């Protein structure tokens, strides 16, 4: 027999939610065939079979939240049928230990049956099903492994209970149940992980946010020119504004490396990262997630655009790999398309800074000739860790980014 357990598929994950079962009891499986799909706080992954054989038992249900190390599926690979003489001394010892444990469990359950509350073996999903069907699990005899109560046991008992009640002549009238004025949703998975990380960041880092604005009229004109060229030549020149934002930040981080750093309080050091890896705060149906573009300082704006689009799509399709969401040194949040005019973002711990780009709108502006002209003005906010950097540095860093956005030709001459 082979126990398929949930292993760590993320950065120190402790639990995952079962969102799909690809097999059922009795199915024949091959090595690397997907068995279970699990969603953690950051990624969704298919867990493959480590052996060829028959699915002997499935110990989880869709919707269960299970801890790392929990057994999900048991596969019969034929090795259990070997004779005792062929087993090693260690295997025999393990078998005897398991039988002793099983005997203790059965004895313990019998003792609880006669002297006190019964120990109920049932998955969280099965317990929820029992509550929905108004079934007391103590009245059910489980048919699963070592007496575990399964969904089928609950449904079978509920059906028999309903049939018995319908056969009785009941004179009492049922009291109507009023609908409640609220709905409960699970605080689990990615939502729970986001909450934990935001709390850690906010209660660890003294946040300060600097607000400013940038005239991106020239940048919008450059984007429009590239779009026209792309329509003629079909070369993919129609890049998003966010790609320019990311490149401007990468160049500015080269001049202000203190914002491309991480504070290690235990070792009492500020680690200055040499490479620039930009995290993209991305809104998905499952919650916020931050895919990462690696080595932005060495990439063109066009390459950044293409990789950014690919990562965002993977995030929304729940197809991000572990490498796609780790290693960021600075994070951006492009919330302008959503209509945001300002915010105080929470830093992506343990980074030092996060910049948010907000809504762009046309406004009357007085130029250097004291003339009133219409320009496209964008708000932005720079949140930084005040333990590592001071306000003056944050303003200078922000001004360097604004300079490039207002004069995009500066970015072009800085390309490697």
Of 123 and 246, more confident: 246
Shared domain check, 193 and 75: no
Residue 94 in any domain: the answer is no
pLDDT in tens, 262-312: 999 888 999 999 999 999 999 888 788 999 999 999 999 999 999 999 999
Query: Is 210 in the active site?
Result: no
Residue 53: φ, ψ to 5°: 165, -155
Q: Which of 259, 264, 265 is nearest to 278 (CA)?
A: 259
Domain boundary pick from 30, 62, 81? 81
Q: Which of 63, 49, 47, 51 is nearest to 10 (CA)?
A: 47
Q: Report the distance separating Cα 108 and Cα 91, nearest Å.
A: 25
Domain boundary pick from 32, 55, 81? 81
Residue 109 in any domain: the answer is no
Q: pTM above the 0.85 mark?
A: no
Domain boundary pick from 81, 113, 141? 81
Q: Which residue range forms the structural domain that includes residue 54? A: 2-81
Q: What is the mean pLDDT of residues 116-129?
A: 64
Residue 71 in any domain: the answer is yes
Using the predicted structure, report yes or no on whether residue 218 has a pLDDT greater than 70.
Answer: yes
pLDDT in tens, 75-120: 998 875 443 434 444 444 444 444 444 444 444 344 334 444 455 7
Q: How many domains does the chain have?
A: 2
Catalytic-role residue among 125, 210, 322, 386 = 386
Q: Report the distance separating Cα 90 and Cα 366, nearest Å.
A: 84
Residue 111 in any domain: the answer is no
CATH number of the domain to which 18 belongs: 2.40.50.100
Shared domain check, 333 and 213: yes
Could you report how far apart the first and last alpha carbons of the chain are, in Å? 56
């Amino acid at each position: 027999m082979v126990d398929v357990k949930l292993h760590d598929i993320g950065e120190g994950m402790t639990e995952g939610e079962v969102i799909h079962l690809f097999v059922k009891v009795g199915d024949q499986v091959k090595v690397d065939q997907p068995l279970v799909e699990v969603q953690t706080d950051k990624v969704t992954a298919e867990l493959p079979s480590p052996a060829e054989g028959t699915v002997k038992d499935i110990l989880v249900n869709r919707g269960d939240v299970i801890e790392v190390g929990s057994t999900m599926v048991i596969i019969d690979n034929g090795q259990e049928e070997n004779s005792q003489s062929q087993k090693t001394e260690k295997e025999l010892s393990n078998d005897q230990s398991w039988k002793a444990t099983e005997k203790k469990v059965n004895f313990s359950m019998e003792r609880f049956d006669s002297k006190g509350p019964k120990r109920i073996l049932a998955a969280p999903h099965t317990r929820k099903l029992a509550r929905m069907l108004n079934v007391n699990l103590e009245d059910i005899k489980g048919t699963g492994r070592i007496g575990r109560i399964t969904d089928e046991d609950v449904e079978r008992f509920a059906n028999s209970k309903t049939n018995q009640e319908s056969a009785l002549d009941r004179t009492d009238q049922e009291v109507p149940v009023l609908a409640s004025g609220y709905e409960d949703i699970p605080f689990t998975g990615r939502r729970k992980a986001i909450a934990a990380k935001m709390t850690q960041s906010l209660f660890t880092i003294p946040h300060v946010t600097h607000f400013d604005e940038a005239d991106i009229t020239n940048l919008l004109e450059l984007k429009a020119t590239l779009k026209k060229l792309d329509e003629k030549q079909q070369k993919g020149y129609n890049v998003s504004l966010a790609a320019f934002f990311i490149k401007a930040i990468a160049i500015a981080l080269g001049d202000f490396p203190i914002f491309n750093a991480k504070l290690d309080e235990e070792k009492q050091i500020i680690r200055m990262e040499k490479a620039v890896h930009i995290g993209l705060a991305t809104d998905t149906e499952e919650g916020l997630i931050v895919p990462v573009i690696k080595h932005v300082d060495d990439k063109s704006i066009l390459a950044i655009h293409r990789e950014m689009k690919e990562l965002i799509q993977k995030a929304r399709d729940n197809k991000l790999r572990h490498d796609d969401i780790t290693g960021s040194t600075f994070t951006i949040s492009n919330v302008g398309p959503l209509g945001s005019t300002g915010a105080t973002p929470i830093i992506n711990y343990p980074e030092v800074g996060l910049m948010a780009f907000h809504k762009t709108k046309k406004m009357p502006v007085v130029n250097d000739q004291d003339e009133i002209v219409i320009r496209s003005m964008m708000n932005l906010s720079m949140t930084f860790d005040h333990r590592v950097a001071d306000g003056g540095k944050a303003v200078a860093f922000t001004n360097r980014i604004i300079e490039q956005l207002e004069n995009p030709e500066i970015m072009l001459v800085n390309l490697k």
